[in-house]
Amino acid sequence: MLPWAVICACTGDLTLAIAILVLWIIMSVVRQFIEPRVVSTHIGIHPIFTLIAMYTGFKFMGVWGLLLGPILLIIIKNIFSTFIEKGVFKSLFER
How much of the chain is helix, strand and coil, in % rounded to 5? 90, 0, 10
Share of the chain above pLDDT 70, in %: 89
Residue 45 CA to residue 37 CA, distance in Å, equals 9
Question: Does the pTM exceed 0.75?
Answer: no
Per-residue pLDDT tens digits for 49-95: 888 998 999 999 998 988 899 889 989 988 888 888 887 766 667 76
Spans of all domains in the chain: 1-43, 46-95
